[in-house]
Amino acid sequence: MNARAPILTLRNLSKSYDGFEAVKGISLEIPTGICFGLLGPNGAGKTTTIEMIEGVSTPTAGDILYKGDPQRRQLADQAGIQFQSTALMDYLKVNEVLDLFASFYPAPMPRQQLVDLCQLQDILDRSASKLSGGQRQRLLLAVALVNDPELVFLDEPTTGLDPHSRRQFWHLVETIRARGKTVLLTTHYMEEAERLCDDLAIMNQGKIIARGSPQALLDEHFEHVLVCLPQTHFTDNCEALRRELADTLSFSGGQAMITSSSVDRTLQQLIESNISLDGLQVRNPTLDDLFLKLTGLSLEAQESLASEGSTG
C-alpha cells in the first residue's frame, strides 16, 4: 500500500437529527500513519463525525472511503475504538477483560505486548471497577488495541483525567503512533492537540473552520507574539489606546491580549497610556488563541454557549 494514500476520505459528509444539521458537509483526507485531531468545543460535531466513520451511525449525505473503498469492507477488522465505558468490565478483573476481548479476534496482539504498551502490568489482577480514571483509560485503550488495529479511534480520551494521568496517556498515544498506527483523536483540549497531532481539523458548529498541522496553522494565522495583561488594567480612561490598538486588542477570560509585531513598541504604548504592567506576559500564540481568532469566542465561551443551548 502507498504509505501516502489517505486511510480515510470524507466527502461532503453531513448528519442531521430531526432537521438539526450537526455536521454540515465536511470533506477531509486523513493520511496513513499520523495522529489526526478533530478539535472543537462541545457540540461542534466531532463525535457525530467519528461515529459516522466508525459505522455506528449513518450519514444523512456524503461519502466515507476507507483506503479508497466506499464500502469500507476492511474497516471493521482494521479499526480499534476506545469506548468511554464497557458495561461488562465492572464484573471482571483487568486480565479477564483482556481475555474476553482477545477471544473475539483471530489474531489478537500478543498479550505481553499489549500489557507493556498500555502499562497494565501492575493492575492485571485488579477488579476493573476499582481502577483510577487513568488506569481505566489505559484499560479501555488496551481493549481498543486488542486486535492490533491499523486505525485507532480515541474520542476525548483524557476528559476528566488529572494532569499526571493525562500526560501518561499522551505518552501512550505517542508510542502507538510510533508503531505506525493511524490515530484519530477528538479533543477539546487544544494543548493535547498541539502535543499529539501531526495534522488537525478544527470544527465549530458542524463545519471545519481550519485544517493543517498545529505549527502551520499558527504560522498561517499569527505573525506576532501575544502581550497579555489582566483585563482590569484597561479602564474606561484608555479609549485612545483602545483605538490605537484597534484589531490587535481582544479580551477573553479576564485577559487583554495584544497581537504585537514589536514588544518594545507595545510596551511603550502601554506605558504612555499609564497602563499598569503588573501581571504582564509575553507568549507565543496557541491553538486556543487561534480558535478565538477564527470564531471571535474563546473555546471556553463556545462551550458555555453550547451547554446553555443544550439545557434550554
Ligand X SMILES: Nc1ncnc2c1ncn2[C@@H]1O[C@H](COP(=O)(O)OP(=O)(O)OP(=O)(O)O)[C@@H](O)[C@H]1O
DSSP, res 93: B
Minimum distance from CB of 128 to ligand X (Å)? Answer: 24
Alpha-carbon distance of 19 to 22, in angstroms, equals 9
Q: Which of 37, 45, 157, 214 binds ligand X (CB under 6 A)?
A: 45
Nearer to ligand X, 44 or 190 (CB): 44
Provide φ and ψ at 127, rounded to 5°.
-65, 135
Q: Please, which residue, 12 or 262, has the CB nearer to ligand X?
A: 12
For residue 103, the minimal CB distance to ligand X (Å) is 31
Report CA 62 to chain centroid distance, whole Å: 23
Nearest Cα to Cα of residue 93 among 128, 119, 62, 69: 128
- Which one of 48, 119, 165, 260 is in contact with ligand X (CB under 6 A)? 48
Residue count at the site for ligand X (CB under 6 A)?
13
Nearest to 142 by CA among 178, 108, 174, 114: 114
Q: β-strand 225-230 against 281-283: which pairing, if any?
A: antiparallel
Q: CA nearest 305: which of 38, 21, 44? A: 44
Q: What does the DSSP 8-state code read for residue 41?
A: S
Instruction: Indicate the residue among 123 and 299 with the shorter CB distance to ligand X.
Output: 299
17/251 with CB nearer ligand X? 17
- Closer residue to ligand X, CB minimum distance, 16 or 168: 16
Choice between 155 and 194, CB closer to ligand X: 155
Residue from the set 9, 14, 47, 266 that interacts with ligand X by CB under 6 A: 47
Q: Which of 28, 37, 43, 287 binds ligand X (CB under 6 A)?
A: 43
Here's the x/- map for ligand X, 7-26, by CB under 6 A: it reads as ----------x--x-x----
Minimum distance from residue 169 beta carbon to ligand X (Å): 17
Q: How far is the CB of 252 from ligand X (least distance, A)?
A: 20
Residue with cell 443544550: 310
| CB 37, CB 201: distance < 8 Å | yes
Q: What is the largest CA-CA distance in the chain?
A: 73
**Residues in 274-293 at the binding interface with ligand X, rule: CB under 6 A:** none
Using the contact rule CB under 6 A, the part of the chain among 40-48, 79-87, 111-119, 236-244 near ligand X is: 40-48
Q: Choose, by CB under 6 A, the member of 28, 46, 101, 141 that binds ligand X.
A: 46
List 25, 27, 42, 111, residue binding ligand X (CB under 6 A): 42
Is residue 44 part of the contact set for ligand X (CB under 6 A)?
A: yes
Among residues 196, 145, 155, the alpha carbon closest in space to that of 34 is found at 196
- Gap between the Cα atoms of 249 and 233, Å rounded: 13
Give backbone dihedrals phi and psi of 262, rounded to 5 degrees, phi first: -145, 105
Chain positions 169 to 208 lying near ligand X, rule: CB under 6 A, are 188
Question: 3-state class of 270 per DSSP?
Answer: helix
Which residues are near ligand X by CB under 6 A? 17, 20, 22, 40, 42-48, 188, 310
